[in-house]
Amino acid sequence: MIPSGYLNDSVKMASTSKKKCRQHSMDYLRYGFIQSPSNKQLPLCLLCEQSFSNEAMKPSHLIKHLEKKHSDKKDKDLAYFQTLKNKFNQRPMISTVFSKMGATNVDGLVASYNIAKLIAKCGKPHSVGESLVPPAIAEVLSTVLHQEPSMTIKRIPLSNNSMRRRIDEMASNVEDKLCFLLILKEIVLQIYGSTICRNQALLLRYVRFIDKNEIREELLFALDLPTDTKGKTIFDCVKDYFDKKSVTLKNIVACATDGACAITGQHRGFDALLKREVPHVFTVHCIIYRQHLVAKKLSEALNHSLQVVIHGVNYIKRHALNERLLCQLCKDNEDEFLQSLIHTEVRWLLKGKCLNRFHELFDSIIEFNKDVAWYGRKIL
């Protein structure tokens, strides 16, 4: 005996299998219907652009919709509906429009990031993206390409906040990629401390490592020291940064520093604290500072000559009037350069450049010295 439930399911399956899918006919255009672009098995009314089910694809149903909803168009001939069909096919679909708009917005966003990258590389302020770039783009589009620039500029975010946000995002991404490489590599550190404007203490950390058989050198971070510049403060700052980036201190194999007591102290210096954490680390004096130390130990004659040049340059640079008078004198003598270079102790090793410039302007400086000596002052 066959169960009743099984029989009912069989009847439902049979009725479902007998349900056929109606096919579209070109004759349906006489009633204002075409195939729906989203589904070829559904009819679409050209007058109201409404889609119907497949079961409605019957001439009687289509005629009923035309007479009931569009009674004023029921007497139109086939040519009229053919014209509507051609216009409908020539019109871009909504999805296509949105996809093009999305692609345009993405292109504008990419252009915004690229412009922010250029601004960061040039070291220009963020406001350049809002004050200079849009007029430049408008000038190129209107003058060279003869296009309307307003719509193009609107698609590219170039405000001051947008540029700052783009640069911060890219810098953070580069920093994360660099720290990801340092997790599994042996690294060499170089520490440089400096005091900038407003007596702000700045700690710079450079890192060297081998990547793909090449030695890479990158700036790891530049952090502010909020209070003092003691060895423990510097070490805590470095350690906190490494912990935050999940880079172990044991990856450090060498560290180059200057000769400051806060760095080289045997008990509380940065080197001593680093060796407690990483006993195998090799500490070395930075090569740039080594050259500075050698410059201090020159022979007496060379050191005296260097001090004379430094004294003369400082005297000229210290007084704005002397700087302007020397510049005018160099112009009159048709010298290649119009001003002397002030020296620095370490950072860019400009003592050599300072001496070269002094040699180029030697005759003008001697003449300037004679004129100054006439008034009872002498710089050399």
Write the pLDDT tens digit of every residue in 212-250. 888 888 888 888 887 888 888 888 888 999 998 888 888
Q: Which residue has the tokens 């070395």?
A: 284
* Alpha-carbon separation of residue 103 from 14, 95, 97, 155, 217 (angstroms): 49, 12, 10, 11, 38
Are residues 252 and 238 part of one domain? yes
CA distance 135 to 142: 10
Cα 89-147-97 angle, rounded to 5 deg: 30
Which two three-digit tokens encode residue 49? Answer: 């652009």
Which two three-digit tokens encode residue 53? Answer: 């089910």
* CATH, residue 257: 3.30.420.40
Are residues 79 and 63 part of one domain? yes
- Exposure on the CB side of residue 60, measured as CA atoms within 13 A: 1
DSSP assignments along 351-367, one per residue: HHHHHHHHHHTHHHHHH
Q: What is the DSSP letter of 28?
A: G
Determine contact, residues 231/272, Cβ cutoff 8 Å. Answer: yes
Determine contact, residues 126/164, Cβ cutoff 8 Å. Answer: yes
Cα 124-125-126 angle, rounded to 5 deg: 120
pLDDT digits (tens, 9 = 90+) for 31-51: 888 887 777 778 888 788 777
Residues linked to residue 223 through DSSP beta bridges, in sequence order: 203
Are residues 76 and 28 part of one domain? yes
Are residues 310 and 259 part of one domain? no
The reply to whether 291 falls in a domain is no
Which two three-digit tokens encode residue 365? Answer: 């400086």
- The alpha-helical segments, DSSP class H, found in 19-132 are 59-69, 78-90, 94-122, 128-131
Please state whether beta strands 214-225 and 200-211 pair in parallel, antiparallel, or not at all (unpaired). antiparallel
Are residues 105 and 84 part of one domain? no
* Domain termination site, one of 46, 69, 90: 90
Q: Which residue has the tokens 């890219």?
A: 170
* Domain termination site, one of 49, 66, 90: 90
Cβ-in-10-Å burial (0-12, 13-18, 19+) of 129 comes to: buried
Determine contact, residues 286/190, Cβ cutoff 8 Å. Answer: yes
How many domains does the chain contain in total?
4
Which two three-digit tokens encode residue 221? Answer: 């971070």
The reply to whether 176 falls in a domain is no
**Domain residues for 208?**
184-285
Neighbours of 63 (CB within 10 A): 15
CA distance 360 to 340: 9
Neighbours of 272 (CB within 10 A): 17
Q: What is the 3-state secondary structure (H, E, C) of 231-247?
A: HHHHHHHHHHHHHHCCC
Are residues 323 and 239 part of one domain? no
Nearest to 274 by CA among 258, 255, 289: 255
Are residues 74 and 34 part of one domain? yes
Reading the chain (380 residues) residue by residue, the pLDDT tens digits are 444 454 455 444 444 444 567 777 777 887 888 887 777 778 888 788 777 787 777 888 888 888 888 888 877 888 888 888 887 777 655 444 444 444 446 888 888 889 999 998 888 888 888 888 889 989 988 898 888 888 888 888 888 888 989 999 998 898 888 999 898 888 988 887 777 766 778 888 889 899 888 888 888 888 888 788 888 888 888 899 999 888 888 889 988 887 677 777 778 888 888 888 888 888 887 766 666 666 666 677 777 777 788 888 888 887 788 888 888 888 888 888 777 776 655 444 456 677 788 888 888 888 887 776 544 455 55
The reply to whether 220 falls in a domain is yes
The DSSP H or E segment spanning 139 is helix 133-143
The reply to whether 142 falls in a domain is yes
The reply to whether 318 falls in a domain is yes
Residues linked to residue 344 through DSSP beta bridges, in sequence order: none
Nearest to 192 by CA among 180, 205, 181: 205
Are residues 313 and 262 part of one domain? no
Are residues 254 and 204 part of one domain? yes
Determine contact, residues 205/190, Cβ cutoff 8 Å. Answer: yes
Neighbours of 5 (CB within 10 A): 8
Residues linked to residue 192 through DSSP beta bridges, in sequence order: 204
